[in-house]
Amino acid sequence: MKDYDVIIIGGGPAGMSALIWCHSTGLRGIMLEKSPELGGQMLQMYHRILDYPGLMTENGREMRDHFLAHLNELQLSWKTGCVINQLDLSAKTLTCDGERLRARAMIIATGAGKRRLGIPGESKFETSGVSFSATRDHSHYAGRNVVVIGGGDSAVENALILARVCPRVTLIHRSGNFRARDEWIKEARENPRIEFLEGYIPLAIEGTDRVERILLKSMRTGAETHLETSGVFIKIGIAPNTDVFRNLIELDSDGYLITDRRQRTSVDMVYAAGDVCAPACLSVATAVGHGAIAVKDIALTLNFKP
């Protein structure tokens, strides 16, 4: 059994911030990340980042590299590719790759991921016609007809990006009540390459070796129809990575961890930070702040000097 003051579950910006603050407050911390590399959602940010004070980068990976350099400079402790099991939040214990760890406090910083449709073909064609980012993948679909599913800012923005290289972009939404900003909707409706298909839901993504068509259902009549397409871009929001914590800790109706203003959860000395508990403001800046708040409260509670 290895003992720590703080175990941080998740290696995105919230987790990395918390680990740095453990060092600053004299707490012995370790960060555990299930993916092969640190960064979380930053690795899925393909646009320029201009809203983080003091650090503007071309994309999220570049920002992650700055964070990682900070961790390396301080010689902090973390593990990647770490599969957690035998998790006991009350006892603050878990097993990571067969090794038992125990802490005086835990911080859950597992973040959030792309919300999925959960329909046949979505996983099968994820590398052959299903995408979650037009910024990253638009060049692969030049000259092809594609569809975008969703009604928020990211869905309409993706449709506009794809319309630069695709002859026809069909924007599919279950209703006509788009949540995207008005100016983007206006621009999309005026674009001759973008077609709005409202009142439909996707039932299946079909094809042989790659995406060839999508099966849709009318919300008004219930009738099903096929639409030929070479690509399906799914932009229906994000979902918190909290499945492993269900029935162990209090979640809200959308699955996000519930915290107070000190980032404390319903379990004593278990905290949450970042996208896993912040649906109102999903950002690197928010995640970093949460990590700091959580560790400072832990330090005060354990009588360490912040």
Bridge partners of 94, per DSSP, are: 101
Bridge partners of 194, per DSSP, are: 169
Query: What does the DSSP 8-state code read for residue 210?
Result: S
Of 256, 261, 230, which Cα lies nearest the Cα of 245?
256
CB distance 163 to 169 below 8 Å? yes
CATH 3.30.499.10 is the classification of domain 2-113+238-301 = no
CA distance 101 to 103: 7
pTM: 0.85
Tens-digit pLDDT profile for residues 9-39: 999 999 999 999 999 999 999 999 999 999 9
Tens-digit pLDDT profile for residues 88-146: 999 999 999 889 999 999 999 999 999 999 999 999 999 899 999 998 899 999 999 99
Q: Which residues contact 252 (CB under 8 A, 6 or more apart)?
A: 258
- For 146, the enclosing helix (H) or strand (E) is strand 146-149
pLDDT-wise least confident of 71-75, 114-118, 166-170, 267-271: 114-118
Matching CATH topology for 2-113+238-301 and 130-234?
yes
172, two tokens:
């599919």
CA distance 185 to 178: 8
Residues 38, 81, 44: CA angle, nearest 5 degrees:
40
CA distance 184 to 206: 30
CA distance 149 to 111: 23
Of 195, 32, 185, 61, which Cα lies nearest the Cα of 133?
61
Tens-digit pLDDT profile for residues 144-200: 999 999 999 899 999 999 999 999 999 999 987 888 889 999 999 999 999 999 999
Which sequence spans correspond to the domains of the chain? Answer: 2-113+238-301, 130-234
How far, CA to CA in Å, does 39 sit from each of 32, 67, 77, 156, 163?
12, 9, 15, 26, 30
Confidence check: pLDDT of 306 > 70 = no
Q: Give 38's Cβ-side CA count (13 Å radius).
A: 27
What pLDDT does 305 receive?
A: 61
CA distance 174 to 167: 23
CA distance 290 to 292: 5
CB distance 288 to 51 below 8 Å? no
Q: Which residues contact 65 (CB under 8 A, 6 or more apart)?
A: none
The CATH architecture to which 130-234 belongs is 3-Layer(bba) Sandwich (3.50)
CA distance 232 to 95: 39
Q: Which residues contact 72 (CB under 8 A, 6 or more apart)?
A: none
> What mean pLDDT comes out for the span 227-249?
95
Query: What does the DSSP 8-state code read for residue 94?
Result: E
Q: What is the CA 239 to chain-centroid distance, rounded?
A: 7
Scan for tokens 């060049």, then name that residue: 139
